[in-house]
Structure formats: C-alpha cells, structure tokens
Amino acid sequence: MQKLFDDLYPNQLDFGKRIVQALEYHHTVIAFAHTQCGKTGSVLAAIHLSNIPLNRIFIITGLSSIDWLVQTKKRIPIKNIFHRNTLHLFMKAVAKVQNPLVIIDESHIASKPGQIIHKITSSIDAQYVLVSATHDWKRFDPLPEGVAIRVMTDPPKYISVNHFAENDQLFQCKNLANHPDALDHIREIIPFLQKPAYHIIRTARNELHQMTITNFKSVFGSNYKFLSMPDLKILSSKPSCHTFIFIKDTLRCAVTIPKPYIGVLYERFTNYPNRSSIIQGLLGRATGFESKHIIVFSYPDMI
C-alpha cells in the first residue's frame, strides 16, 4: 500500500486529503472526478491518509463488472472489495463491523429507489464516499445536512471530453446495422483511417452485432481485420493493419485502456441516449492521457 501511495500524483494526493478532511465533519462525501482522471488513485490516497483500519473500509459498486473488480483490486490492495454480484457478501461482512467507511465507486449505478445501492445507503449506518464521473450529484440542491461535495482537479496534460468537441474529433454516431443507409454511415469513418490502428465499435447485444460486422466487411473487404469480442490486451500491441474490434457491453465505467494505437471509437446508436451512459461509455474511455489523436463517434449534443 505504501509503495502505491508513494507513486500517486499531486492532484490525487490533494483530492484524497480533501475527502478525508470532509469526512471529519460529514457522514457522506460526494467525490466527483472526470473520467480517466485518476480517481481510483485518489481513493487509495484517502484510505491511506484516513488511518482507518482496513478491516473497516469497504469498496463497492453497483456495476456487475469483472473488469472493474480486477482493476480495483490491482490498484487498491485491500480485502473488502465487492461488485454488484457479490454485494450479498458485502452485506454480511459490513454487518460485523462498527463504524464502517463504505466507498461506492460509480455511485450513480443502481442508486435509484428500490435498487441495490439505494437500499445499502438507506439501511446501513456508515460513513460514505460516493465516487462518480457523472454530474448526477447536481440533483442535490440544496445539499442534505451532513453531505459534502469535493471535486477533483484535472491533472496537467489531461485530455477531456471537451478536447474532442473543440477539435472536430467528436461526431454523431449512427445506426450501422439495420438502417437503409448503414453502409454509407460506415463509410463516414474512412477519412479518419490513417496509419494502422484499432477501431472499437460498440454494437447491440442481439443479432445486430453480427449484422454490423457483416456490414463492415462489405465496406472494407479483406484487407482489414474484424474481431468480435477479443481479449482487449491486444490494444497494447501495435497493429500491422487496420483492425475493427466489435464489442457489446465492455469498456464502460472505470475501465482504462491503452490509447496509443486507438484510431476510432464508435458508440452504439440508440434513439434514447442517456447522458451518464454516454460519458461513461467510449467517449469517457477516450479521455485521459495520450489520446488527443482519437476520433470519437458518440452524442456531441449531450456533452
């Protein structure tokens, strides 16, 4: 833990310190940080600086994501980390602890009345840190008594969502599957295919996934690679040719990907987009560092 703490950046240390200070006078702290800004390191900083025994600290999420679980355990090596599918084990464990600190990552997930995170915060007597990259915390106006908000400072050289909008690198995504103009929609990507890169396309879960792949093969032919749901570790290796990667529900909240070899990120089209989902989707994965070259197709009107 000490080695990981020593490697944190100044903005992470500052944010962690301000969270701990807020917990001295509040039962709940809403901790807001932009996507890919280093908020997991800030949580590590807060845990370390709090001096609270680790058996009293719990990190949970409403996400049912193995990717989240693996990344979080790697970055914050404590025992009590639970995702949505293991929250029943969290409930048993936290019941045995006095004065627990419960850190809820991606706290907007499953937080509506009747959903699991809302049930936890309503029924378990604890201090809470609610971590999120969405602006849902703005609904707390005015703030309830005992609740504080702390906002993380973006680090130097951070690439934000606004970078893509302001530099003509953010475009409207379209139906690439069963629309009469689907092939023309796909051809809109062509001007952005420069040197060989990975291009990640999010599709629907059903038969439209394969339909999308078939459409791409019709447009680009045999000189390109087309991969369905591959191991995304390949993103760390330089591609020899343009490679289209088709995914369904991966690469959402909290997942960090290597970006040097990414060319285009294309979000799934829907008639009813949700702003939080958009920020946490492929657009959010494009933010961070070493990503100013990426082209994103998402929902420009909703950022």
Q: Let me know if the fold of 2-151 is the same as that of 161-302.
A: yes
Which structure tokens are listed for 270? 């829907």
Q: What CATH number labels 161-302?
A: 3.40.50.300
Domain boundaries, the chain: 2-151, 161-302
- Phi first, then psi, for residue 28 (nearest 5°) are -140, 135
What pLDDT was estimated at residue 118?
Answer: 93
What pLDDT was estimated at residue 287?
Answer: 94
Q: Where are the alpha helices (DSSP H) in 7-160?
A: 10-23, 39-50, 66-75, 87-94, 116-123
Which structure tokens are listed for 99? 């004065």
What pLDDT was estimated at residue 137?
Answer: 56
What gap in Å lies between CA 229 and CA 216, rounded to an integer? 15
Mean pLDDT of 251-276: 87
Q: Give 73's pLDDT tier (boundaries 50, 70, 90).
A: very high
Q: How many CB atoms are closer than 10 A to CB 165?
A: 15
What pLDDT was estimated at residue 277?
Answer: 82
Whether residue 158 is predicted with pLDDT greater than 70 in this model: the reply is yes
What gap in Å lies between CA 100 and CA 125, rounded to an integer? 8
Label residues 207-235 b or e (16+ Cβ within 10 Å = b).
ebbebbbebbeebbeeebbbbeeeebeeb
What pLDDT was estimated at residue 108?
Answer: 85
Give the residue among 99, 96, 98 at the shortest CA–CA distance from 128: 99
Which structure tokens are listed for 9? 């950046």
What gap in Å lies between CA 191 and CA 176, rounded to an integer? 17
Alpha-carbon separation of residue 14 from 11, 39, 46, 114, 122 (angstroms) = 5, 11, 9, 35, 30
What digits encode the pLDDT tens for the residues 236-247? 999 999 999 999
Which structure tokens are listed for 110? 């499953």
What digits encode the pLDDT tens for the residues 166-199? 999 999 999 999 999 999 999 999 999 999 999 9
Are the C-beta atoms of residues 57 and 47 closer than 8 Å to each other? Answer: yes
Whether residue 265 is predicted with pLDDT greater than 60 in this model: the reply is yes
Mean pLDDT of 98-107: 96
Whether residue 133 is predicted with pLDDT greater than 90 in this model: the reply is no
Structurally, what CATH architecture does the domain formed by 2-151 represent?
3-Layer(aba) Sandwich (3.40)
Give the residue among 131, 257, 260 at the shortest CA–CA distance from 282: 257
